[in-house]
Amino acid sequence: MTQNIYDDPGFFLGYSQMARSIGGLDAAPEWPALKSMLPPMQGLKVVDLGCGYGWFCRWASEQGAASLLGLDVSQKMLERARNTTRAANIRYEHADLEHIDLPANSFDLAYSSLALHYIKDLPGLFANLHAALKPGARFVFSIEHPIFMAPRNPGWIIDIKGRKRWPVDCYQMEGERVTNWLADGVVKQHRTVGTLLNLLIEAGFDIRHVNEWGPSDAEVAAQPALAEERERPMLMLVGVQR
């Protein structure tokens, strides 16, 4: 069973105050890059793994998707999603992503934003998802980058010229990483880039696109705090095809 940190009151409170929680997709700087990896939504049957507040489901519904299934382990997130992002063709369901039980051969697109780094049995999830997707279907997701997640004590260091550097260690040691982000004891699963991609390949997916998101000049101009994300890869956006 994956840790359900989103139902921790302190975590939920902190998360609910983040820009991306208030502002939705457009407040997430990686959204334009992720969106560019998606197929046209018109008529698609879509599943969202870790749907959170339902921002993506609502967007996809507005774009003409035929139906949306949003899955999340957090009851609080689902409650908020049902209250704020509902539409006739969206269904929100409680699910532990380690044990999803979806009908075979039934979705045209799977989407997941920043959820997979919490999953311990990723091979199991990929196998279940592969079976639930139609041949040719896409799976597009974002995940914390292994370089961001690997360090024992993650944090920037400042060099003598005031420039930021991101020290990496423990990269080859895969497994649990416990951080104190919004709440103490948030458990994530570190895997190397190679392992992540090989798990997808072994599950039967074709790798179509890999984007290690970084901000554009315009994004840094609009939001100078993003400049540090030019120094390291913080997120990985991956598009694969069944």
| Rounded Cα–Cα distance for residues 51 and 154 (Å) | 27
For 234, the 3-state DSSP assignment is: coil
121 binds its own copies (CB under 8 A): no
**At residue 17, what are phi and psi to the nearest 5 degrees?**
-95, -5
Measured from the CB atom, the residue of 103 and 155 that comes closer to its own copies is 155
CB of 238 to its own copies, least distance (A): 9
Stretch of 4-12, 34-42, 161-169, 175-183 lying at the interface with its own copies (CB under 8 A): 161-169
Residue 96 or 219 with smaller CB distance to its own copies: 219
Site for its own copies in 44-103 (CB under 8 A): none
Site residues for its own copies, window 171-200 (CB under 8 A)? 171-173, 192-194, 197-198
Q: What are phi and psi of 207, to 5 degrees?
A: -75, 125
Least distance (Å) between residue 43 CB and its own copies: 26
Question: Residue 97 CB, nearest distance to its own copies (Å)?
Answer: 24
Tell the smallest beta-carbon distance from residue 45 to its own copies (Å). Answer: 26
How far apart are the C-alpha atoms of 142 and 115, rounded to whole Å?
Answer: 8
Place of tokens 């921002």: 55
Residue 196 C-beta: closest distance to its own copies, Å: 9
Q: Compute the distance between CA of residue 242 and CA of residue 230 in angstroms, rounded to an integer.
A: 32
Q: Which of 208, 221, 222, 223 binds its own copies (CB under 8 A)?
A: 208
CA–CA gap between residue 51 and residue 46 (Å, rounded) = 11
Smallest gap, in angstroms, from Cβ of residue 129 to its own copies?
18
Note whether 151 binds its own copies by CB under 8 A.
yes
Which residue type sits at 107? Answer: F
Q: Is there binding between residue 220 and its own copies (CB under 8 A)?
A: no
Report the sign of the C-alpha dihedral through residues 49, 55, 56, 60, in that order: positive
Torsion on CA atoms 97, 102, 92, 11, rounded to nearest 10: 0
Cβ proximity to its own copies, 119 vs 200, nearer residue: 200
Residue 94 · residue 122 · CB < 8 Å:
no
Q: Is 222 in the site for its own copies (CB under 8 A)?
A: no
Nearest residue to 172 via CA among 188, 152, 156, 186: 152
Binding status of residue 233 toward its own copies by CB under 8 A: yes
Binding residues for its own copies, rule: CB under 8 A, are 147, 151-152, 157, 159, 163-173, 192-194, 197-198, 201, 206-212, 214-215, 229-233, 236
